[in-house]
Structure 1
Amino acid sequence: MPAPSSPPGAARVPAAVYVLGLSVFALGTSEFMLSGLLPEVAGDLGVSIPSAGLLISAFAIGMVIGAPLLAGATLRLPRRTTLTGLLVVFGIGHVIAALSDSYAVLFATRVLSALACAGFWAVGAAVAISMVPTGARAKAMAIMIGGLSVANVVGVPGGAVLGQLWGWRSAFWAVAVMTAVAIAGVLALVPRVPVPAEPPRLREELRIYANPQVWLVLVTIALFAASTFSFFSYLAPLLTDVSGLSESWVPMVLGLFGVGALIGTVIGGRIADRNLFATMYAGLASSAVVLALVALLAEYPVAVVVLTGLLGVTAFMTAPALNARMFNVAHEAQTLAGATNTSSFNIGNTIGPWLGGLVISAGLGYPATAWTGAALAAAGVAGVALQVRHGSGRVVARSSAQAVAAPSSSSSV
């Protein structure tokens, strides 16, 4: 049953949505913390750093596959039970990883944890959307994405510090503890949602993929994520090899990006429900400009540091609007909408670093990753333009509530 409508920004968001954001903090910390733990993991398990880096790829691939797979498999299960079960699996995966001395077992636990993480994102996003009016969808998604932003600010650097002090396993134990707290929060505050008399059918939900608007949003999300991570994945060597900063600056600049991401998420959550398409235009276009400036000014450390923080703002300002747009065009298929969002972001997270690596391997240098990101962000702007042209046809002052009330003419569901 669709959520009731209310004026954009006027509705209160229930505490359960904040609990879901807290859960995402634990999930996001795990997803990104290995970036700061690769030397410790490689040295302890006797593998190369590139091999240890495959653990990050394993998680991303698990997220892409796991979101639609688990969304479909759990479609008829009670939502709170599903969320709790996925968190339990996620936590157990980290306990096993912390106890293991085997690279193969660690690899398997990363895939397992990613599957659970993807399922939680898909189901949790649908639950969050169901608990708020349509005019507060972007705000609810901003709270969930905010958990990821805080993970980048606190969780990921914290995991790196734990790894340096007590070994990489301590970071996995810390995530397991955070997951236990999240489980308690879900059980205490997320309401029971009974299985409807007419449970949703997977075949019916799959019809959203006959809607061209869904594919346009999917591609735009992937371009958005790829634009950010084609550059961000290689930020550390750019800072040290091109900008001339010492390695001690890298965690601080990563933290600055996280702070910018948190600010951007808050801004996006506040404005996207009132100006959905305008927010997407502004965020993607601004990201393209910021990335182009990074490429031009890569040799100037102050400029790169400031622009990295600004990129966090512009990129994550866009994310709540993109999420809300997918839920709008998916209409009743809210669980698969959440799954599609998750897969789309992680497709971009996989393609972006790959493209960045290609331009580096071609001898174009680390600044070329920023040019790549700028081009991808510009393509994302074109994706938004196509959505406007073939969908609602209007950009300004278009709330997500209005978008649901007047769905696009191309919709087939």
Structure 2
Amino acid sequence: MRTSGSGSVPALMLCVFGITTGEFVVAGILPDVAGDLTVSIPAAGLLVTAYALGMIVGGPAVTALTARFPRRPLILALLGIAILGNVASAVAPAYPVLFAARVVTALVTSTFFANAIVIAASTAPPGRQASTVSKLAFGMNLSMILGAPLGTLIGNELGWRATFAAVAGCCALGFALVLRLVPDVRDAAPATSAVAELRVFRDRDVQIAIAVTAVGNAGLLMVFTYFAPLLTGVSGFAPDAVAVLLLVYGVGAAVGNLAGGRLADRALMPSQVGLLGLLAGALLLMGVAGGGTVLGAVMVFALGALGFSVIPGMQIRVLTTAAAAPTLAMAVNASAYQLAAAFAAWLGGRIIDGGLGLPAVYLTGVAVTVAGIGVSCLAWLRDHRTQGRPVTTT
């Protein structure tokens, strides 16, 4: 049974935009935070690390503990905590208070995303779950393209506290819209216990689906972590062009995300394998050819588009295989993505420190992405063996 909720996706997308802007914008106001609270830049940088760790740990834990709660009241409560966390960040009198506020906000972020995805998918028309989920991810894309730059501008003009206040205001508006527009999807949240939800991870298909997310994204995440030195040292761009190229990447990500959702609705596993193959080819071209300034700019757009085009399909596959506990599975999937990002940053650093040269980062990204193709093909093969046909989203 599907519940009609035509305003659900825009309301939830605004919430995703607000919450992820609060996550990404810290990098832009880091020096102001450090100066005002009299801490070092590295200490202020730990705010970013703490947020990521909070999502990794809090996502599965909070989601499992709230498994019995109806979804609509739960996401309103989670939004309320996010609003309070950003308000506390805005008024924090000292660094420890700000640190604690960021951790608390991070603890509920993955659980909110997981429930929002399940609600969006459950209210989507048949056969359009992936494209509907991609619209939620589009809120994250907008936070990269518009939210973080606008938040940084607000911080530069009015102080970093005003940035967190603006994020809290955006989340509060999202709260009001969810209260008015998002239906109470009762049948999407069967009463169960944390232990019962954890049993879903015994399923090999669920394990493989989450592994696809981790491995399939790690190659591009490694390249993105070191984008600035790669663009200047390999592709030959001037340092002041990096900010513009990051915007180009973000626009590509937004386009690819929406297109990937539509492709996943039509052919989930074939599109996933094909898009990962194109991503590996794009990474290889950047590493071998260097790109040049014109081709390099085109390839930056392509990397953003291809990298984000696979995400809706990966999320829908987790939902499909983990039907008994979709919310917890989505939270763990988000944690897997964060762990992949942390591993990718570490591996890329080791490659650079090992003297292999910057192009080797691209080539290693290719190898990791090919491994992601292999895991995806394994999932696809299991679909044929167990069902005689690929997994569909209808």
Does the pair score TM above 0.5?
A: yes
Q: Is the 8 A contact 1:42 1:49 kept in 2?
A: yes
Instruction: Tell me the equivalent position of 1:130.
Output: 122
Letter in 1 for 2:143: A
**Stretches of structure 2 lacking an aligned partner (at least 5 in a row):** none
Q: Give the counterpart of 2:201 among 188, 209, 214.
A: 209
Tell me the CA shift for residue 78 of structure 1: 2.2
Letter in 2 for 1:330: A
Aligned ranges for residues 10-89 of structure 1 at < 5 Å? 14-89=6-81
Letter in 2 for 1:258: G
Q: Is the 8 A contact 1:21 1:147 kept in 2?
A: yes
Q: Confirm whether residue 228 of structure 1 aligns to residue 217 of structure 2.
A: no
Note the alpha carbon deviations across 1:256-302, whole angstroms, 9 max, x for none.
11110110111011110111001111221111111122222337233
Distance in 2 between the 1:195 and 1:393 partners? 30
SS of 2:384 mapped into structure 1: coil
**TM score, norm. by length of structure 1:** 0.88
Residues 220, 107 of structure 1: CA spacing in aligned structure 2 closer, same or farther, 3 A cutoff?
same
Q: Give the counterpart of 1:304 among 282, 296, 301.
A: 296
Aligned ranges for residues 361-380 of structure 1 at < 5 Å? 361-380=353-372
Note the alpha carbon deviations across 1:74-124, whole angstroms, 9 max, x for none.
111221111111111111111111222422222222211111211101211
**Stretches of structure 1 lacking an aligned partner (at least 5 in a row):** 5-11, 403-413
Aligned-CA RMSD value? 2.5
Q: Give the counterpart of 2:91 among 76, 91, 99.
A: 99
Q: Is the 8 A contact 1:146 1:265 kept in 2?
A: yes
Q: Is the 8 A contact 1:297 1:304 kept in 2?
A: no
Note the alpha carbon deviations across 1:166-187, whole angstroms, 9 max, x for none.
3332321221111111101110
Residues 207, 55 of structure 1: CA spacing in aligned structure 2 closer, same or farther, 3 A cutoff?
same
Note the alpha carbon deviations across 1:10-36, whole angstroms, 9 max, x for none.
xx9722022111111112212222233
Distance in 2 between the 1:197 and 1:291 partners? 40
Q: Confirm whether residue 322 of structure 1 aligns to residue 314 of structure 2.
A: yes
Distance in 2 between the 1:399 and 1:196 partners? 20
Structure with the bigger percentage of helix: 2
Q: Confirm whether residue 187 of structure 1 aligns to residue 179 of structure 2.
A: yes
Residues 271, 71 of structure 1: CA spacing in aligned structure 2 closer, same or farther, 3 A cutoff?
same
Tell me the CA shift for residue 156 of structure 1: 1.7
SS of 1:343 mapped into structure 2: helix
Tell me the CA shift for residue 199 of structure 1: 1.6
Aligned ranges for residues 141-290 of structure 1 at < 5 Å? 141-194=133-186, 199-290=191-282
How many residues in Structure 1 have an aligned counterpart in Structure 2? 394
How many percent of aligned residue pairs carry the same amino acid?
36
Residues 229, 369 of structure 1: CA spacing in aligned structure 2 closer, same or farther, 3 A cutoff?
same
Q: Is the 8 A contact 2:384 2:390 kept in 1?
A: no
Provide runs of 4+ in structure 1 moved above 6 Å.
195-198, 394-397
Greater shift, 240-249 or 380-389, is seen at 240-249
Instruction: Tell me the equivalent position of 1:118.
Output: 110
